[in-house]
Amino acid sequence: MRRLLQAMIVMLVVALLAFTLFRFVGDPINQMVGIETSIEEREALRERLGLNDPIPVQFARFIQSAVQFDFGTSYQFRQPVSDLFLKRIPATLELSFASAVFALVVGIPMGIYAGLNRESWVSKVFLSVSLVGISLPTFFIGILLIFFFSVNLQWLPSFGRGEVVEIGSWWTTGFLTASGLKALILPSITLGLYQMTLIMRLIRAEMLEVIRTDYIKFARARGLPDRLVHFRHALKNTLVPVITITGLQLGAIIAFATITETVFQWPGMGLMFLQAVQNVDIPIMSAYLLLTAFLFVSINFVVDILYFLIDPRLRIERA
């Protein structure tokens, strides 16, 4: 319950920030009217839009419309911001999902291997590669991948989503066509590489620690086969921090999607947000702020709950 309250407060603070941005940075009226509009007309519009009301009233109205997914009209596109976002959300979510899957599917086995075979040269290669992966900025990884696989080898496309299929009224997916899947490969590797190295290092560190505990020694002493010890007993106990990090990194993935989407001209929310920053399109910026804040807060909330479900010790302490 306390967590829920905290989450609400965070959202309220972020909403206040978004509102401040929306209302005070860049005059909304100036953006809506042409140069020839007279001062009287501007004042009338101001009155009609309620911009002369007391600030708390305006804030309340802002929240009310935000809850109903109404963020005003984009300065650049002259379209409702919510429509623009709806069109772009599927692209970002599919990209984030694909890179999270990539990070987990590749990172976890690498981490397990490096943790169990600490001295082998393969683990050392993994570790050095991961260090390079952490040091390379996301956008440069993208450029390198494009350079090798799109420009030189011409295997994979370097921009866009490929062919997409419409599902329902607004969701579009690239998962169902060959070109869509191909277009997904490079961006999701770019986006997921950092998370992959992070997960690998984390699992390795946790494995090294768990392997030394008494219950693992005892399990070995009982004569259980290595595989059972490693996967049933050891791996299970490394998963708690992995879930936390993965959860928190989901937020980071969505944030870094901005960069990846720019490199690959991926038509998602991030690309739109970046264009909004470049063109000072305040409604899109404040809507993006609110949406990502909502995403992060809900992710944190879910991770907190998962924590209690996975680790029985925490449940006992609480009771």
Binding site for another protein (CB under 8 A): 10, 13-14, 21, 25-26, 131-132, 134-140, 143-144, 146-147, 151, 158, 251-252, 255-256, 258-259, 262-263, 273-274, 276-278, 280, 282, 285, 289, 292-293, 296-297, 300
Output the smallest distance, CB 262 to another protein, in A.
6
Output the smallest distance, CB 238 to another protein, in A.
19
Closer residue to another protein in complex, CB, 237/262 = 262
Output the smallest distance, CB 104 to another protein, in A.
19
Output the smallest distance, CB 56 to another protein, in A.
21
Output the smallest distance, CB 275 to another protein, in A.
10
Q: How far is the C-alpha of 46 from the C-alpha of 134, rounded, in Å?
A: 50
Closer residue to another protein in complex, CB, 72/164 = 72
Closer residue to another protein in complex, CB, 98/282 = 282
Output the smallest distance, CB 282 to another protein, in A.
6
Closer residue to another protein in complex, CB, 185/255 = 255
Closer residue to another protein in complex, CB, 112/282 = 282
User: Do 103 and 199 form a contact (C-beta atoms < 8 A)?
Assistant: yes
Closer residue to another protein in complex, CB, 10/185 = 10
Residue 105's Cα: distance from chain center in Å?
18
Closer residue to another protein in complex, CB, 59/296 = 296
Output the smallest distance, CB 140 to another protein, in A.
4
